[in-house]
A and B are shown apart, each in its own frame.
Chain A
Amino acid sequence: MALDRKIAYINLTTGDVEVKPIPLDVRKKYIGGRGLDAYLLLNHSKKGCDPLGPANPLIVSGGILTATCASATARTHIMAKSPLTGLLGSANMGGFFAPEMAWAGFHHLVIKGKAKTPVYLFIKNGTIEIRDAQDIWGKTTTDTQWAIQEELNDQEVKSLVIGPAGENLVVFANVMTGIKNAGGRTGMGAVMGSKNLKAIACRGTMDIKIAHPVEALEYNKRFIDQITSAKVNKTQGTLGTPMIWGATNSWGGVRTRNFQYNQCEYADDIEPENIDEICEETMGPYHMAGCFGCQVHCRAQYRIPSGPLKGTYDEGPEYTSQGAFGGEPDTPRAETVLVGNHLVDQYGMDNLEVGSLISWAMELYEKGIITSKDTDGLDLRFGNDEALLEMVERICYRKGKVADTLAMGGIPASKIFGKNSFDYLIQVKGMSNLHSDERATPALALNVATSSRGSDHLRSRPAIDLYHLPEKVLHKIYGNPVAYKGKLSSEHTEYIGKAWQVFWQENCYMGVDCLGICKYHTTFLGATLPNFEDWPKVLYYNTGLEFTPKELWDISERCNMLERLFNIREGLTRDDLEKGDMLNHRYFDEPCLRGAPDVVGMMINKKKFVKMIDEFYEHKGLDKNGNPKPETLKRLEIQNEPSHML
């Protein structure tokens, strides 16, 4: 049964391992995955703990449906206090790691302490072994995985690893599995590095009993048909996430030259169709890969077509890498994007943070806030491909003043660079924004400002807001499983009802993250995809647990509030530009200069934006300052958290 998967507490300082079952009442309250991770983080960390200290718990999990007969249950979730933001650290990735961990008997790992010398964990069929990793320390993310497979003499071993960036405590180092699946955000790789933990390797052959196998199989077929019939997923399965590049960029939604423009000119070279064409000779006509059990198969495969790394195999680039190594630094050339993407994959760094921070440094360089003396002679101008790629390597190995400073994260770096460098830093809660430009889309701007892990597009983004769906349709989607009586607007430039949409999406994404399902299988890019109404059946057929859609909504709301409680404990206040729910002033002061006629001249109206945050807080049951009202905590049954039950 999925329900008999265990939780393991591992202390790397003492070498102690304790294994506990997950009680049914905990499951019913937090389900699993990210939701239960939030409970564990709040309960196992102390206020103000050092993110890179031994007391910071690193939590790794699969969802309750991981490796069951449900669609695309490949996601691994990683949580800890973030060394990048000092607030909630939380990252989610695809691949094959979480299913292997579930077959090895575990759903959650809570790792504390620090090993004296580099180690890795080997988890196999209920046993956990701490093994020496001194020989693999220093290796890239993929070399680490192959070395572990070789050492254990087992090709089926799946590992979650860090690269050199995590070892070097770059605060936005990620954890990775496979070629390019990245638990990218909030610096979870640095937390692993600080514990001298190079990898977690899993191998499992333990049965997961399906509660109602015949029904689960048939329902899964229907679920998959619903997912693959959505045109957005069909396109995704051919082009990957870069499918949205062209439309977003031509419309004026790609921030360029840090935040100076909202459109990258002459960017056809990095369109996925073009990348396919230049890679076709080596990749052949079929070049898409899928994560475990997923029929969307959105991971493109490529070989670098030219230059010193010619022939090197990798996967992607995702939309994020197009922005990080094409749009923001204004270097829209295929080879640059493919190489940049490859470097961050190998080093184990968040592509988004790397691209954003380098572009910020480029703006500072052009404005004279940092000089060629600081960059050791590197001409850090926008559009300089070589300087961009050089900086990626320098950041990973912390070479030179500017790169070493950037490796500390944007806010600490701004204090070192001084002058008004902070004003140019496009971040929320200390984490860089995606390269999307939200000045014409208040709903998306609200999402970025209020996301629990700092600026982010995967926590509450109502992406379908851009589709101009009829209000009737919007009410059908956003009016379930909880009725919404207010107005909703089909217009993406409007402020009406957007707070509810963001609130609804926040719960929806928490839901899939608890189940362990990928977001492309819910109301994210496709308006017709499954959500609260559909999940009870999948849960029942696979685990035997019965929930109503409303109960799942309540659980999502509860888990989101736990994340909020953690952030408040660690210093979140409403309007704080460093730790609050607030955007950089440029959103309110600098109008969009490029793009479609309805985008040019747009910026966020601060008064309306503040009102939107008020509304959002009201939906969440927070007071005007963003703190939960006592009755909200009582309603969500978390008034006694942290309760230290598990």
Chain B
Amino acid sequence: METKDKVLMINPEKCTGCRLCELVCAVKHDGFSNPARSRIRVMKWEMDGVYIPMACQQCQDAPCMGVCPANAISRNDELNIIEVDYDKCIGCRSCVAVCPFGAMGFNSIDRKVFKCDLCDGDPQCVRFCEVQAIEYVDADDVAVLKKQTAAAKLHATSGKVALKTA
């Protein structure tokens, strides 16, 4: 599978807040059901019915990579992911502190940091999300898809027929 430059694209508007992504992520990686082990988490404002899935953005200039004193975090260009080398990791959690998205987790059962690895190119959160609130797309396409949606919205304000979007 060609995975280079593919990214997670999250559309919170579509999210139903069911948290199946958290469940399958934890089971796939660790064999346990436990949201505390999930690489993706759905942040919820139940009183307003707002649900926003949060996951690693696999940043180009990743703060976690920059802050790591043990050089344990590196970019894997083959899979387009930021990964942790557990042989080098000293468990200082600087990466957890510095991540602007809260995407680097710390698992207090195994005493290890953990993050999204895109399931080596077959992200289970995407596979199980029936409403497609999480999609796995070419990095180039993200902006195009967003342009399409925004354009359709603009078109709709003209009062003409609604357009189909991806």
Contacts and interface: CB of A to CB of B under 8 A. Distances in A.
Interface string B8-32: 0000011011111001100110111
A313 B48 contact: yes
B18 A293 contact: yes
A358 B1 CA distance: 62
A295 B130 CA distance: 6
B17 A290 contact: yes
B46 A68 contact: no
Contacts of A292: 18-20
Contact of B34 (A205, A228, A284): A205
Contacts of A228: 130
Interface in A125-184: 142, 145-146, 155, 178-179
Given A142-B47, A224-B130, A295-B130, A290 B16 contact: yes
B143 interface: no
Contacts of A96: 19
B47 A103 contact: no
A206 interface: yes
Contact of A208 (B17, B34, B46): B34
A551 to B, nearest CB: 25
A559 to B, nearest CB: 25
A209 B32 contact: yes
Contacts of B131: 286, 295, 297
Contacts of A294: 18, 20
Interface in A271-291: 284-286, 288-291
A631 interface: no
Contacts of A221: 127-128
Contact of B23 (A69, A142, A209): A69
B6 interface: no
A213 B18 contact: no
B24 A289 contact: no
Contacts, number: 94
Contact of B33 (A210, A286, A291, A297): A210
A69 B14 contact: no
A437 interface: no
A17 interface: no
Given A217-B124, A313-B49, A207 B18 contact: no
A206 B130 contact: no
A205 B36 contact: yes
Choose among A178, A205, A216, A224 the residue with the greatest number of B CB atoms under 10 Å from its CB.
A205
A415 to B, nearest CB: 42
A190 B123 CA distance: 46
B17 A289 contact: yes
Contacts of A517: none
B33 A315 contact: no
Contact of B18 (A67, A155, A290): A290
B32 A289 contact: no
B115 interface: no
A301 interface: yes
Nearest to B133: A286
B37 interface: yes
A179 B50 CA distance: 12
Given A210-B27, A217-B24, A224-B130, A297 B34 contact: no
A217 B49 contact: no
Contacts of A313: 47-49
B91 interface: no
Interface string B31-47: 11111110000001011
Interface in B124-161: 124, 127-128, 130-131
A250 interface: no
A217 B34 contact: no
Contacts of A284: 13
Choose among A69, A206, A294 the residue with the greatest number of B CB atoms under 10 Å from its CB.
A69
A220 interface: yes
B109 interface: yes
A315 B27 CA distance: 30
Contact of A207 (B32, B124, B127): B32
Interface in B76-129: 108-109, 124, 127-128
Choose among B33, B44, B46, B130 the residue with the greatest number of A CB atoms under 10 Å from its CB.
B33
Given A205-B36, A228-B130, A297-B18, A179 B46 contact: yes
A210 B20 contact: no
B13 A208 contact: no
A294 B108 CA distance: 28
Contacts of B124: 217
Nearest to A298: B16
Nearest to A284: B13
Interface of B: 13-14, 16-20, 23-24, 27-28, 30-37, 44, 46-49, 51, 108-109, 124, 127-128, 130-131
8 contacts: A68-B33, A69-B33, A103-B35, A179-B46, A209-B32, A221-B127, A221-B128, A294-B20
Interface of A: 67-69, 96, 103, 142, 145-146, 155, 178-179, 205-210, 213, 216-217, 220-221, 224, 228, 284-286, 288-295, 297, 301, 313, 315
Given A221-B127, A293-B20, A313-B48, 16 more contacts: A67-B23, A69-B24, A96-B19, A179-B49, A207-B30, A213-B27, A213-B32, A221-B128, A286-B13, A290-B17, A292-B18, A293-B18, A294-B18, A297-B131, A301-B49, A315-B49
Pairs A-B, 5 closest by C-beta atoms: A290-B18, A290-B16, A213-B31, A205-B36, A297-B16
